[in-house]
Chain A
Amino acid sequence: MQGFALYPFDPPSDIAALRTDLRAWLAVNQLQGDLVARANCWVSFDAGFSRALGAAGYVGMTLPARYGGGDRHPLERYVVIEELLAAGAPVGAHWIADRQTGPLILRYGSEEQRERYLPGIAKGELYACIGLSEPGAGSDLAAVRTTARETAEGWRINGQKIWTTGAHFSHIMLALVRTEEGSERNAGLSQLLIDLATPGITIRPIIDMAGHHDFNEVFFDDVLVPHGALVGERGQGGQQVTAELGLERSGPERYLSSHALLVALIDAAGADPDPAVATLIGELTAEMWTLRQLSMSTAAKLAAGEDPMVEASVVKELGNAFEQDMPRRVQAIVTSGWDDPDDLAKLLRALLIASPSFSLRGGTREVIRGIIARGLGLR
């Protein structure tokens, strides 16, 4: 880790103008409807919003123009993402495709895959999901057992994925599968880009404890996909996935996905808050401001082509802790009851219930701390 410096966050264009334009766009295009959807908004699905956002040039921003992208700098995209999250915009439909799958296809994909998928992603119309977890493979991804056998016609896939967020509305899944018969652990794993309309795929909802349908079970029964579905190098899937997960850890969603609650707390407190409430607002603000500095510095490092795996994990660990703590600490001092109809109570209830997932998705707390410990030279 770096001692006393922060990596300079220095996007190439006029960031103030980018913010102003996007805020003006949101004022017109973001419906003021469901307040609770503003919390944890990166899982709020709204196809119309995603399409409009894509048409306005705010999706696939860093993809090259020849694939329909915006040719923008990664830090310009960062600014757009933090604005969208701070506003609680419903970015869930295109979120994974924009954040993860698009960049991964650009990096590892074939020319055919890029031409086929990236333009739809950049339009905010093509959605993707991530098929890593299986019943027997959670934290231990090297235990993946779903198989893909190479045949004359293509890859034949058999097995099951689980906890797949958005599989029910996605067009494609980027799946980690075992392509080498009899292989063990990471050797023999590859990534396949699977069109979810292919025959033999069954998607079943799993209702989460909030009563929402966000994740799913996905079954593959002799599913045939073309040879060209392989992404990157055969047998390198494990390494590619590790790189992919590293990229997603440090984004502003790690501390801004519950921002709606802080906004509601401040609004409910008014201009002359009770001292206990002022204290809490001060503490939460200090933590959020610090997290933002860390997240921006890590993003700037990533944009400069460095590999800040440990720092990205620090952002996730601290961000998860902040977002899990926030609803508890708010509940501890406000008078809103569990079933009250006011904004603060509704957000509070929704985030208390959502919060256990924050330190599970994208790598559990223990796994993330293990990565940090390795970075410290302890393993």
Chain B
Amino acid sequence: MSAARDMLCDTASAVFTEAASVGIGPVEDAGFGLLLVPEADGGFGGDWGDVNAVLWIAGHSVPDLPVAALILSGLGDVDPALHAAATVSLMAGAMGQALTLSIDHVNTRQQFGRPLGKFQAVQQSLAVMACEVRAVEAAAAALAARLDATGGDALAAGFEIAAAKLRANRAVGVVTSVAHQVHGAIGFTEEYDLHRVTVPLMRWRGTHGNDAHWAQILGRQVAGFGGRGLWEAMTARDA
């Protein structure tokens, strides 16, 4: 990762920590609304790789704040599909946090004289969950790369937006259910942090296009490519 993106992520982490208790104000003040605005127009000149990194952190730590909307507002009136794209990055971050919380929990909570993480059934569930999380992270990163290759053109990146949002939506079920299952009752409380990411995940599954919406769009696009054409189209789009 570039040094500039490292710095951006450090800034984002610090600002989001503050924003977690006081609201979106510090994020606005720090200028995240200018992230995608070209330097020539007084913006930060960031790319979608930057947006993905920042929103991953936002999904992780401040999933309830409108960080994605703030970043996209810098571009003015955008294609709604770009909101779906941004949501995939938020989802990846929130899923990463659900996984981290779950691992920490099973490594500390003891039952039957052992940490839960020593039980094979628990290990296997978390492995399944980790695969879903990794898949969504990959989808978010690949989508960002495609958006950068197309200059942020939602139409040119339509295939990837549909595929990534659909894949992220489909991961929500496994990720939220395994995370809650391994947590037991404590994960069902208001006090414990897990719901701060799992409830947003449930919400995001239905916003900016649910499964049926994107599956139809993608399925019809692929039908247009034809059987062999799918592979040709997919490889032709490599960044």
Binding site for B on A (CB under 8 A): 1-6, 9, 15, 19, 82, 86, 259, 262-267, 269-273, 275, 277-283, 285-287, 289-294, 297, 311, 314, 317-318, 366, 368-370, 372-373, 375-379
Contacts and interface: CB of A to CB of B under 8 A. Distances in A.
B215 A373 contact: no
A293 B142 contact: yes
B234 interface: yes
Contact of B134 (A265, A294, A368, A378): A294
B167 A376 contact: no
Contact of A3 (B124, B137, B223): B137
A292 B234 contact: yes
Contacts of B128: 317, 369
Interface of B: 1, 52-53, 56, 89, 92-93, 96, 99, 103, 106-107, 117-118, 120, 122-124, 126-128, 130-131, 133-135, 137-142, 145, 159-160, 162-164, 166-167, 170, 211-212, 214-220, 222-228, 230-231, 234-235, 238
A286 B167 contact: yes
A373 B128 CA distance: 9
A275 B128 CA distance: 30
13 contacts: A4-B96, A273-B219, A278-B215, A282-B218, A283-B170, A283-B211, A283-B219, A290-B167, A317-B127, A373-B124, A375-B130, A376-B127, A376-B130
Chain A contact residues, majority secondary structure:
helix
Most-contacted residue by chain A among B117, B120, B127, B141 (CB, 10 A): B127
Contact of A4 (B56, B124, B130, B224): B56
B124 A369 contact: yes
A314 B222 contact: no
A289 B234 contact: yes
Contacts of B163: 285-286, 289-290
B11 to A, nearest CB: 16
Contacts of A376: 99, 103, 126-127, 130
Nearest to B229: A266
Most-contacted residue by chain B among A15, A19, A378 (CB, 10 A): A378
A182 B138 CA distance: 47
Contacts of A293: 138-139, 141-142
